[in-house]
Structure 1
Amino acid sequence: MLKIVSADFVKGATKASQYPGEGLPEFAFFGRSNVGKSSLINMLVNRKTLVKTGSRPGMTRVINFFRINQTFMLADLPGYGYAQRSAKENEDFDRMLAEYASNRSDLRTLFFLMDLRRVPGETEKNTIEYFERLGLEVVIVGTKADKLSNNEIAKSVRAIAAYCNRTPDMVPVSSADKKTGRDVILRMIEDRCRS
């Protein structure tokens, strides 16, 4: 099992010329504003405050890069769907994301986080298809599992999987509060670091 011994913030970036040139396997976390990306990363690396979590959605405006164990990188991408962004901010956001996803050769996997309490829609489906057209592996992770019963989780996972053309076993569930899903996601990262 992958043991986290070090986790360091490297830098925030808004364009390719600012990305860190570590040459390490990289794993990005993406999803709707307030889906729990920062909390999930903190849970994975066993730190409470490595990634700043905001009480308000839409806090992350840059791509934040973290070096883990000196062997791989995690990238925390800004959340989408934040209503209080202007049209110009949304345009800049889309451009930043497209540049990152299409130019980052070290990027192995994009973990696409979805709140298990929400029904995915066209935005989610189109975004996944966009990333996959770029040749990226997209792993859907259901978040906030602690807010639902086991039956509700199973039902939600089946719905997300069916809508996003997956099987339920391909959608790990997580809860940052209860550390649910930590081992599964770290094992995925470890396997992809080796391949």
Structure 2
Amino acid sequence: MRVPSPCSRTGECKEVFFWRTSVVFGSLRPAPAPGRHSALPGADLADCKLVAFPAGIYKAMRSVAEGIHRISLANNELRALAGRFATTFSQLRELNLEGNLLHRLPEELGSLLHLRAINLARNKFRRFPEPLAAAPALESIDLEGNEIAEVPVEVLASMASLRSLNLRANPVCPDMRLLVRPLVPFELLLSPEGDVPEA
């Protein structure tokens, strides 16, 4: 089945395709999902110049939202994500928000019980987005290329499922670097000190 999509601001004809159990936005392109979860059914709204998640998509996908396990909204112009996004797509395993203008996340994101990986690289975060601490299955967080100077050690240490946190290209101060590494039981990726951007 093929129905028009309300998501395009680019002049291109964007369409919603329902194909078997997958939902893909765009010209039949798979939603990017590196790693072992790449076969998950997903939706791709990357590179659409979106400034907000289209309200019409919630309605169009109401009957299949629980079958969506990964979504890419990479390389748009999003400044905020509504709590409705998390409550609608409650079965998400992977979420790609790289390359937007986000500086915070809704508290509802912590209710995503199955979320395993989130990509928030190249956004505008100045602090670690603490709603992520409530997501019990979260294993991988990519925050490369943001503006984070301090790392909430106690919050991160409480995240039992976390395996990897990428903070490369963030202005994490030297004292914080020395403090954090011995206290967190997961892989913490930081840029070499000489490559750290200024806060």
Structure 2-normalised TM-score? 0.33
Which protein has the bigger helix share? 1
Which protein has greater RCO, CA pairs closer than 8 Å, 6+ apart? Answer: 1
TM-score (norm: length of structure 1): 0.34
